[in-house]
């Protein structure tokens, strides 16, 4: 296993971002700790709420196995030396809970893709993985015909965000990746407002 860089330093090796088509890789990054869990695997926004509540334990893992076999799979994974170290959930908005969201608006009728979860494995946080992870997720979507990619991060204005809520990212993080604020939302996490940010082909850095 590659060793993590010092916090705040660069990744210890070139980062490879690829489709999340391997169940074991997805499990290593967003799988629950308990085998009977009814949470995580990053399914909350990806499938219907009734199905999400119903799935638990092995059935939840099997549902993720099905998603990994689909085209497109449920997101992308960043690897260092073949070791999965970071995850991004990205999918056409029309097939996610964001299609029905009352708190996050639709800017227009474009069939945009949503990027809603970023997770870096403990031991690798603060090593510069988020930038290549977002860039890889954007490439993944645009290569599959996405007319634009949306994200819904916190506008925390530099204030500290609780780690349990940091999965949506921050406005500054996405601005550095070339996203621009497209709309306000009525959604809040950890006391901070979320903004709808968008990147269209040609805007990516």
CA torsion 187-185-132-165 (nearest 10°) is: -10
Q: Give residue-wise pLDDT tens across range 135-183.
A: 999 999 999 999 999 999 999 998 999 988 899 999 999 999 999 999 9
Give the bridge partners for 87, in sequence order: 77, 119
Helix (H) or strand (E) holding 159: none
Q: Which three-class secondary structure state does DSSP give residue 179? A: coil
* 116 phi, psi to nearest 5 deg: -125, -5
Token pair, residue 60, equals 């939840």
Residues of the chain with pLDDT under 70: 1-13, 35, 37, 204-205
């Amino acid at each position: 296993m590659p060793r993590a860089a010092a916090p705040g330093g660069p990744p210890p090796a070139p980062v490879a971002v690829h489709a999340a088509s391997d169940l074991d890789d997805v499990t290593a990054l967003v799988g629950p700790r308990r085998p009977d869990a009814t949470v995580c695997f990053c399914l909350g926004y990806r499938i219907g709420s009734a199905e999400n509540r119903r799935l638990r334990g092995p059935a939840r893992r099997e549902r993720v196995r099905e998603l990994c076999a689909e085209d497109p799979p449920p997101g992308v994974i960043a690897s260092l030396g073949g070791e999965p170290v970071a995850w991004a959930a990205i999918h056409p908005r029309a097939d996610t809970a964001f299609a029905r969201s009352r708190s996050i608006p639709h800017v227009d009728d474009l069939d945009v893709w949503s990027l809603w979860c970023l997770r870096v494995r403990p031991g690798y946080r603060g090593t510069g993985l988020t930038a290549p992870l977002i860039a890889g997720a954007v490439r993944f979507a645009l290569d599959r015909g996405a007319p634009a990619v949306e994200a819904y991060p916190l506008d925390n204005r530099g204030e500290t965000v609780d780690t349990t809520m940091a999965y949506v990212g921050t406005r500054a993080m996405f601005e550095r990746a070339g996203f621009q604020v497209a709309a306000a939302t009525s959604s809040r996490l950890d006391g901070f407002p979320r903004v709808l940010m968008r990147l269209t082909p040609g805007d990516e850095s």
